[in-house]
Amino acid sequence: MPGNVRTPCALAVGVCQKDYYALHVFFDNIRENKTAIDILLEKWGTIVHDEQIKTYEQPNIRKVHTPWRYFFRPDRSLMPKSTTPDEDIVTHLVMKVNAEKNGALIFSSGKNLWVFKAAGWPEDVANFYRIEDYKGYLWLAHNRYPTNTSGWWGGAHPFNLLNWSVVHNGEITSYGTNRRYIESFGYKCTMYTDTEVVAYLVDLLVRKHGLSEKLAVRALAPPFWEEIDRMPPKEQELNRAIRLTYGPALMNGPFAICVANENALVGFTDRIKLRPLVSGESGDRLYISSEEAAIRTIDPDVENITMPKAGEPVIGRVYS
């Protein structure tokens, strides 16, 4: 089970950490693999601080990787043509390191956002990182029954890129199409699993192409042509344009997905809802889960349990 924690200005080391990208890296061997990453990061910016992520031995978890944390400031002047140079540098570094597979894997690359993951039972992984020591206002958690790939640390959810993190239940039958599409924009799928493609698609649609979260979901799980044909002309035109433009981004197969960034949490399912998804509210708190029971375990007083329609997103926004 991985957890995804957002913590404002935690672990002060003389600077406010939320201004820097927190790169979480799994090293296979700290002596063999770390120097190369240090050199690479220094080429593209400044390592403001780095440290080993605190872990606590658990009887059922074999520590096959050493989790490490870098606070990193990209050097914008190195990406002169980009409108989002910081993000492009960090994306480039994540894709490069993960594609090279040289005993290092970046599994968290956001600001004010930390991903924790390992292979093991949920409670063991939580205890391994002492997750209760972290504070956050938006959490994603996931527990997986491994099928296509056996459980390995990098393959645990959430999959993260910049501030986008994704947890997913299901199997994306359109993965081959989605992967080839997203790779034509320079992303590289390296995790041996279909879920990572969702994080990259959301990054492309929202950050690079400027779609709202709602329209991004519309592109990933669009209405059927039959529905589009019945829409009023303007709406029809918009929906047709989305399907024509983003056909290769359409995700097929059974899935329930939660995607989050620092401002919003979005839950949605495939177009015929082959996987369950429920949401519930408690005061100003939103829960989204595959199972109502999971929400009730966390918050017995939850209200407004609803089941969204196929392809329709549940969007929670953070108001400060």
Number of residues engaging other proteins in binding (CB under 8 A): 43
Among 97, 199, 215, 217, binds other proteins (CB under 8 A): 215
Q: Does 252 bind other proteins (CB under 8 A)?
A: yes
The end-to-end CA distance of the chain, in Å, is: 29
Q: Distance of CA 170 to CAs 45, 72, 81, 193, Å?
A: 38, 34, 38, 11
- Contact, 175 vs 128, CB < 8 A? no
Q: Does 253 bind other proteins (CB under 8 A)?
A: yes
Residues in 126-185 at the binding interface with other proteins, rule: CB under 8 A: 147-148, 170-171, 173-177, 179-181, 183-185
Q: Please give the structure tokens belonging to residue 41.
A: 């990061």
Q: Could you give the 3-state DSSP secondary structure of residue 69?
A: strand
Among 60, 237, 285, 304, binds other proteins (CB under 8 A): 237
Q: Does 238 bind other proteins (CB under 8 A)?
A: yes
* Range in contact with other proteins (rule: CB under 8 A) among 11-19, 54-62, 111-119, 224-232: 224-232
Residues in 256-275 at the binding interface with other proteins, rule: CB under 8 A: 271-272, 274
* Nearest CB to other proteins, comparing residues 31 and 234: 234
Measured in degrees and rounded to the nearest 5, phi and psi for residue 310 equal -55, 130
Taking Cα atoms as reference points, which of 115, 90, 285, 92 lies closest to residue 195? Answer: 115
* Range in contact with other proteins (rule: CB under 8 A) among 49-57, 65-73, 239-247, 279-287: 239-247
* Nearest CB to other proteins, comparing residues 110 and 311: 311
* Nearest CB to other proteins, comparing residues 67 and 316: 316
* Nearest CB to other proteins, comparing residues 8 and 247: 247
- Cα 170 from Cα 257, distance rounded (Å): 8
Q: Please give the structure tokens belonging to residue 262.
A: 């620092």
- Cα 5 from Cα 118, distance rounded (Å): 15
* Nearest CB to other proteins, comparing residues 122 and 248: 248
Whether the ω angle into residue 158 lies within 30 degrees of 0, i.e. cis, is: yes
- Contact, 108 vs 161, CB < 8 A? no
Residues engaged in binding other proteins (CB under 8 A): 147-148, 170-171, 173-177, 179-181, 183-185, 208-212, 215, 224-226, 234, 237-238, 240-245, 247-248, 250-254, 271-272, 274
